């Protein structure tokens, strides 16, 4: 975007100066004794300066917005950081426009009313001057009947009537120049608004609501296109998982059967070994027991034999 043209800036300054000079010129003309008209001229000057001050702030905000639009970085990451460069009075409106809301940038607050008020103040000064002139004429007519005296008495009120219209000149001139300044600054604001729209369509497009909705719609469309492939992939994965589960079950059953067979064979071998060991242990125990009991039995049998012999011998002796 381009800066404000020198012609536009000079024209605004010329309009402000011309309006102020018109009001000051009229006010100076009332310094001789027309205190009421001078007071109205001063009020017109105050209202005119108030409107010019508001238009100056309005133009400063427009210039700051134009500068912020020129300084948009190419890789803008966060909208809030850039909005800090925008004047506070325009930040919310600019943010809403970027997000897609069709809101206009704010215009001058009281200047449009001051433009009309200046005309009314000028007319008010004129009406008051006319009332005072008519009152003076009535008094001149009532106090004398001499024609020459009446003419002399009416001369001053009639001159005052001409002077009274000066407030209308001041009010209309100030209103026209303030209106011209307002039109020029409004045109600059409109140009800044157009630049803002062009920036929204380019650098700031990613932050607009329309762009976000379009991206969301494209994401939904992409999901819709990938959904059949995703469903097919899930079905393939489920079939593969079912096949793996079945193979795992068969493998586990085979491993379990082999384990049972190995355990059965191990138990049978263990039982056979225990049986052989028990048999050997019993045979050895019996042999050891026989070897241990045999001397005792032999000794016992020998004792029995001895006792039998002794009993037989005693019987024979008897």
Burial of 218 (0-12, 13-18, 19+ CB in 10 A): exposed
Alpha helices in the chain (DSSP H): 6-29, 35-70, 79-83, 88-98, 111-143, 147-200, 209-317
User: For 226-260, how does the pLDDT look when each residue is reduced to its tens digit (9 = 90+)?
Assistant: 777 777 888 888 888 888 888 888 888 888 888 88
pLDDT at position 138: 53
Q: Per-residue confidence at 17, pLDDT binned at 50, 70, 90?
A: very high
Mean pLDDT of the chain: 78
The yes-or-no verdict on residue 39 having pLDDT over 50 is yes
Least confident of 192-196, 216-220, 239-243, 244-248: 216-220
Least confident of 12-16, 93-97, 108-112, 131-135: 131-135
Q: How far apart are CA 32 and CA 171, in angstroms?
A: 20
Mean pLDDT calculated for residue range 96-124: 85
Q: How far apart are CA 162 and CA 25, in angstroms?
A: 15
Phi and psi torsions of 315, nearest 5°:
-65, -40
Mean pLDDT calculated for residue range 123-147: 63
Mean pLDDT calculated for residue range 210-215: 56
Cα dist. 140→35, 42, 79, 220 in Å? 21, 30, 75, 92
Q: How far apart are CA 239 and CA 252, in angstroms?
A: 20
């Amino acid at each position: 975007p381009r800066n404000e043209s020198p012609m536009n800036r000079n024209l605004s300054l010329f309009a402000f100066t011309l309006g102020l000079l018109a009001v000051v010129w009229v006010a100076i003309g009332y310094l001789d004794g027309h205190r009421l008209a001078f007071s109205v001229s001063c009020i017109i000057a105050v209202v005119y300066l108030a409107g010019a001050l508001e238009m100056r702030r309005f133009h400063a905000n427009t210039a700051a917005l134009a500068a912020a639009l020129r300084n948009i970085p190419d890789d803008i990451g966060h909208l809030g950081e850039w909005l800090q460069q925008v004047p506070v009075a325009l930040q919310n409106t600019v943010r809403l426009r970027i997000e897609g809301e069709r809101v206009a940038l704010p215009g001058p607050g009281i200047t449009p009313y001051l433009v009309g008020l200046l005309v009314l103040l000028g007319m008010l000064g004129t009406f008051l001057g006319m009332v005072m002139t008519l009152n003076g004429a009535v008094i001149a007519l009532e106090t004398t009947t001499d024609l020459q005296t009446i003419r002399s008495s009416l001369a001053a009120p009639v001159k005052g009537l001409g002077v009274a219209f000066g407030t209308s000149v001041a009010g209309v001139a100030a209103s026209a120049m303030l209106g011209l300044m307002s039109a020029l600054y409004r045109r600059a604001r409109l140009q800044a608004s157009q630049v803002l729209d062009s920036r929204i369509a380019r650098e700031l497009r990613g932050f607009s609501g329309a762009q976000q909705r379009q991206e969301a719609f494209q994401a939904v469309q992409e999901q819709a296109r990938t959904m059949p492939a995703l469903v097919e992939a899930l079905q393939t994965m489920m079939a593969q998982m079912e096949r793996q589960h079945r193979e795992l079950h068969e493998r586990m059953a085979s491993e379990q059967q082999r384990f049972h067979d190995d355990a059965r064979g191990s138990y049978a071998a263990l039982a056979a070994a225990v049986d052989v060991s028990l048999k050997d242990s019993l045979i050895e125990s019996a042999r050891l027991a026989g070897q241990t009991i045999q001397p005792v039995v032999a000794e016992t049998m020998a004792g029995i034999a001895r006792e039998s012999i002794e009993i037989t011998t005693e019987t024979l002796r008897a």
